[in-house]
Structure 1
């Protein structure tokens, strides 16, 4: 694949007043009743500080295929087919609590749901996506490539026996699709020599910002297990430059699952970071035009126990329609 310009599905917005409407897709932990399934919430004010869980906080999308769990949902508009799409990780940790199995012998497929109105969904479809020698396929996210005229899907995979001293760790891969039914062979996208997961993007003017998360293995730097930010020119730019080492550090103790959006009213970009294993999602706001500083929004109240998810800008009509299923 060659470098291409990015049009992030995360930044789709279409609003006609001062209030921005958002749909938040997320899951809850394996320790919760009906956890590891997809839930929805919509914001209840003019910004992203307060939220209304839909369906009384119960799952909206439930996986009955593969491992029968759905984690890390990513929701976006497929403008080429006039559909909404949710991608998710096919994983249920509650079954045995075995993370070693999940990472090294888990599913190599992802879950796909589709809808024309955000209300009625088809699926899930279980779609193979990872390499045959991969142990898993985690946190798939889709972004449109203008130059390639296709969707690029980024996801994390563990490869056995590769790396320093034969160790394995999570690397980011990318594949291409037009219909989310068939995919090209995955290509290695990002290898840090240690686990990297949860890649997502935000296009702001001429710059493409890449958000990722690292793990914290024994002996690793204290800035690991946080979200880091890089800046490049396109999704596939081979020369992204480091931008923010550990976003949110000092306000949270660790972070992953970044979800980032650009409000349509010209206000600062918003970033959600999951303080996994602790207090869950926190909201941050860019404090400078170049996105070097992120300010913690202390009064934000996210849906209870929300874990790694995504944000979609929606219209007032879509917002009202979703509220009717509350």
Structure 2
């Protein structure tokens, strides 16, 4: 029987301790209602790098019997600004490791970006059977050596390979469309890879404010096909930070989309990935203000352990 889902997330930089990691457990097997752990206070904090955490992404590393969480090394809520963050931000990601989802080692600051990167945002990792390694993807604005890093560059999706989340291969451009693309994440189903991102689609009128859906044959397929250009349009003003998961019972998938600056995460669901018929679940009760994070399906034992240890946190 499913143990439901664990949601890792952060809050707005305008909230006290907003840019730190929070956890919530789904109240049942589906992610329609949630209970925040630790009374809604941060479960994990960063005192390295920029001393803030955004965009936490949970990974079940079955090959090594552990869980890994990676996140953006960024703090905006201490007088920093987005202009600085996109031009002179962190070149590293934050990494935590755990054997049980309760006790965590870290954060460790791992450099993944090139010296010309202005930022390193929203890292995610997916196992590549072809490479037998994890592919870590993130968004960066790239600048030439000696450039004054003024306005005009755009966000590209970058990629680096790792076996252990301690050392990383040379970063390469994964996706450069000549305009902003951030927050790419994936679902694999039936040998097809579904990619979801915040893609401004070149500034086309009425496009790019919602979640962009594509399908390909592998993580590194150079020719993904568009299946939906505006997931969430009509139910949300704007969206980024998609988080996706399959229902452990099969036949259904879930998508959280971050209506940033407004309601935060909103829930969508579908029974047909190929048709991209995502239905808004307006009565879903998400943790208040929950923003860009990730969903991890749990076993009953994992759920019980999280609940048992919840009262032991600071």
Give me the TM-score of the superposition, normalised by structure 1: 0.90
Q: Which 4+ residue blocks in structure 1 deviate beyond 6 angstroms?
A: none
SS in 2 for 1:93: coil
* 2:76 paired with 1:93: yes
Equivalent residue for 1:70, pick from 50, 53, 64: 53
SS in 2 for 1:94: coil
* 2:216 paired with 1:232: yes
Give the Cα–Cα distance (whole angstroms) in 1 for the partners of residues 307 and 275 of structure 2. 33
Following TM superposition, by how much is the alpha carbon of 1:167 offset from its aligned partner in structure 2, in angstroms? 2.6
* 2:256 paired with 1:275: no
Following TM superposition, by how much is the alpha carbon of 1:289 offset from its aligned partner in structure 2, in angstroms? 4.8
1:208-219 aligned at under 5 Å gives the runs: 208-215=193-200
Give the Cα–Cα distance (whole angstroms) in 2 for the partners of residues 288 and 255 of structure 1. 21
Following TM superposition, by how much is the alpha carbon of 1:116 offset from its aligned partner in structure 2, in angstroms? 0.3
Corresponding residue number in structure 1 for 2:226: 242
Corresponding residue number in structure 2 for 1:116: 99
1:26-175 aligned at under 5 Å gives the runs: 26-160=9-143, 167-175=152-160
Corresponding residue number in structure 2 for 1:261: 245
Deviations 1:119-155 (A, max 9, x none): 1000000010011101011000000011111000000
SS in 2 for 1:319: helix
Aligned partners of 1:286 and 1:292 also within 8 Å: yes
Aligned partners of 2:19 and 2:75 also within 8 Å: yes
Deviations 1:3-61 (A, max 9, x none): xxxxxxxxxxxxxx2x4510000001111111100000000123111001000000011
Q: For the aligned residues, what is the CA RMSD?
A: 1.7
Give the Cα–Cα distance (whole angstroms) in 1 for the partners of residues 275 and 18 of structure 2. 34
Unpaired stretches in structure 1, ≥5 consecutive residues: 1-16
Cα 1:144–1:216 shift into 2, 3 Å: closer
Following TM superposition, by how much is the alpha carbon of 1:192 offset from its aligned partner in structure 2, in angstroms? 1.5
Cα 1:291–1:113 shift into 2, 3 Å: farther
Give me the TM-score of the superposition, normalised by structure 2: 0.94
SS in 1 for 2:87: helix
Cα 1:240–1:34 shift into 2, 3 Å: same
Q: Relative contact order: is structure 1 or structure 2 higher (C-alpha 8 Å, sep ≥ 6)? A: 1
Give the Cα–Cα distance (whole angstroms) in 2 for the partners of residues 289 and 227 of structure 1. 14
Cα 1:98–1:289 shift into 2, 3 Å: closer
Unpaired stretches in structure 2, ≥5 consecutive residues: none
Give the Cα–Cα distance (whole angstroms) in 2 for the partners of residues 315 and 291 of structure 1. 29
